[in-house]
Amino acid sequence: QTVVTQEPSFSVSPGGTVTLTCGLSSGSVSTSYYPSWYQQTPGQAPRTLIYSTNTRSSGVPDRFSGSILGNKAALTITGAQADDESDYYCVLYMGSFWVFGGGTKLTVL
Amino acid sequence: QVQLVQSGAEVKKPGASVKVSCKVSGYTLTELSMHWVRQAPGKGLEWMGGFDPEDGETIYAQKFQGRVTMTEDTSTDTAYMELSSLRSEDTAVYYCATVDGDYVYFQHWGQGTLVTVSS
């Protein structure tokens, strides 16, 4: 069974930088998995942030960036703002199906 | 711009079926690859399945095979997700979402439909 791993929670100070990661229970994440990232606030539908590892979706501020760091996909928020406090999900494309990570709850304080 | 508008909340008894709709505007359904993702209360997102335009087939997550049916009515640009043999664990918000064919990511999302399974 494919398991995509994310940090359950993270905190960052306003104006700070934080990197959330997205790994595989076995193996390394590469661009071939087309990692994408989504932001979700309570009661709202997910919002697409990053696709194909590092491409920002339309309207997403450039303080959000995606990359591969080591054997994981990563989402970096530079200059965190209060309204970045959300849940963040990554998803990997496994060739014929998708697997979401468990999500990271980001606190900005 | 693609807009996806889903049907309203449902309450079902265990063992029943539910059918959620997702109306497309801004594009025609034939131009899109529609998928379904669900989220149980307080839990993460879970891909259920969707249309694979490469072979024209609908693919389902193994977990839901035999219990879920995804269909499309191209005359009304409406997609449907029907889940049968409902149990309490199926209580969740169900989202329709389009998948971009080139970069295989969830591009546009519906607002979600809460399905509550309770006796």
Record: contact B105-A36, CB cut-off 8 A: yes
pLDDT tens for A13-38 read: 999 999 999 999 999 999 999 999 99
Q: Tell me, what amino acid is at A83? A: D
pLDDT at A37: 98
**Residues in chain A closer than 8 A to B112 (CB atoms):** 45
Beta strands in B53-102 (DSSP E): 57-60, 68-73, 78-83, 92-99
Give residue A50's pLDDT band: very low, low, confident or very high (50, 70, 90).
very high
Taking CA–CA distances from B103, the nearest residue in chain A reads A52
Cβ–Cβ < 8 Å for B69, A15: no
For position A55, what pLDDT does the model report? 97
Cα B96 to chain centroid distance, Å, stands at 4
Residue A1: its pLDDT value, please?
85
Residue in this structure with the two tokens 């990692």, named with its chain if needed: A35
- Element (H or E) spanning A66, and its range? strand A64-69
A88's tokens? 């963040």
Q: Residue B34 in 3-state DSSP?
A: strand
pLDDT of residue B56: 87
Residue type, B87: R
Dump pLDDT digits (tens) for A56-77. 999 999 999 999 999 999 999 9
With a cut of 50, which residues of chain B have pLDDT below it? none
Are B59 and A96 within 8 A, CB to CB? yes
Question: How confident is the model at residue B55, as a pLDDT?
Answer: 84
CA distance B101 to A95: 12
Residues of B in contact with A99 (CB under 8 A): 47
Count Cβ neighbours within 10 Å for each residue of B51-71 and write b for 16 or more, e otherwise. bbeeeeebbbbeebeebbbbe
Structure tokens at B13: 């008894």
With bands split at pLDDT 50, 70 and 90, how would you rate the model's confidence at A94? Answer: very high
A60 contacts A39 by C-beta, under 8 angstroms: no
Closest CA to B107 of B28, B34, B22: B34
